[in-house]
Amino acid sequence: MKTHPEADTPGLRDADGQQFVWSEVEPGFYAGSCAGNFLGYIDQNLRGIFVAHDMTSHVIGEFSTLEEAMESLTALFLSRSEEEV
């Protein structure tokens, strides 16, 4: 398992400064976390499309790039975090 380089950017942090981490669990399959919280996962299908799933495995959307899929799950996590406050 390796950490994905796009997760190492300063903009990918939550309000408390915790970094979002994306790991490539196996080729084409990525899992995200932040401060011990599971964000969801991204699976690249046979057409090369990145399908983002939330923490309960619901499909959030299909994206042409991995970065777009990561951003969608990060934004979803942040919006849900704000609702809990």
Domain boundaries, the chain: 2-80
Q: Identify whether the C-beta of residue 43 lies closer than 8 Å to the C-beta of residue 73.
A: no
Predicted local distance difference test score (pLDDT) of residue 15: 56
Task: Give 11's pLDDT tier (boundaries 50, 70, 90).
Answer: very low
Cα distance between residue 72 and residue 78, in whole Å: 10
Check: CB of residue 34 under 8 Å from CB of residue 14.
yes
Q: Which two tokens stand for residue 79?
A: 């919006």
pLDDT, tens digit, for every residue of 25-77?
A: 999 999 999 888 999 999 999 999 999 999 999 999 999 999 999 999 999 98
- pLDDT band at 84; cut points 50, 70, 90: low
What letter would DSSP give residue 14? -
Could you give the CA distance from residue 6 to residue 22 in angstroms, rounded to a whole number? Answer: 8
Q: State the first-to-last Cα distance of the chain, in angstroms, to the nearest integer.
A: 33
